[in-house]
Amino acid sequence: MISRRKVALISVLAVSLFIPFISGRTAQEQKPEPKQEQKQKQKKEPKKPRAIRVLFIGGSNTYYNNLPEILAKLAQAGGAGAVETGMVALSGWGLKDHWQKGDAHRVMRDSDWNFIVLEDESLLGKDANPEGKPGGGPVEAFRTYARNFTQSVLDVGAVPFFCLTWAPKNAPEEQAALNSAYFGVAKEVEAKVAPVGIAWADVRERHPEIELYAADGAHPAPAGSYLAACSIYAAIFGRNPEGLPAKIGGRPVNPETGKVESDKPQVLMDLPPAQARVLQQAAWAAKKLLDKNRGYLDVSRGQAR
């Protein structure tokens, strides 16, 4: 008969032999990950910041010199972050045309835009009716479709910006009518304004040696598009454009068709640094003027600058 002492000894031996077996299996099943895999998990690739997306809807003033591309390059250089732009622009088209036909509605809906810049034709000022009386012609049409577009922009979750355009070279007096039309409707619908026309008038008065107009006296020369881009940059991002590059490269646009000619970047403009500084300062001064007046000019008093 086996004594209790022997039984206890056998049990201890059995357990001691079994435990290493279990421990070995557990160690194999829980084999530590290689150090390289651990480092990869620890060093996760940082998420790229989401690009700010800006859509332009307008006419030939928008596609001349590829204004959207200039804005994107200025924003990148100014530290505002990556900017992606889109453009729906046809020669002679105003907001009424874009509302009634074309691709503007589809493009607005199909992408996630942060800002949508709305530009009507500069000839709006020719037959302006500042009082907004019935039968105001182009101005009344502008107001109607500016209201419509503002609501559509808000419906897709974007911020509406009106691009206040400039008077023709041979009719600077039309700027007051443009100011009245744009600021009047913008204030009514609580949209924002990029005061390009105000900066433009300021440069024309103070620095007539800078040619803002193309040969036709209506469309922008490279300096004019640069001034417009600086004004929109200041309005959207709230940043002073002074010190931004004066040489901008990007995709060229055919001024006859409004289509991008090539994906190969070319020099869109190469302005003298002193000239670029004047344009930057004018754009910032126009933005500060609007800030001083809570975003709008008191057009009822004919305030122009």
Q: Tell me the domain boundaries of the chain.
A: 53-301
Q: What is the pLDDT of residue 265?
A: 84
Q: What is the tens place of the pLDDT at every residue in 114-150?
A: 999 999 976 665 554 444 444 456 788 899 999 999 9
The segments of the chain whose pLDDT lies below 50 read 1-2, 6-29, 128-135, 302-305
Q: What is the pLDDT of residue 37?
A: 55
Q: What is the pLDDT of residue 257?
A: 84
Q: What is the pLDDT of residue 305?
A: 45
Q: What is the pLDDT of residue 125?
A: 54
Q: What is 53-301's CATH number?
A: 3.40.50.1110
Supply the pTM of this predicted model.
0.81
Amino acid at position 265, single letter: P
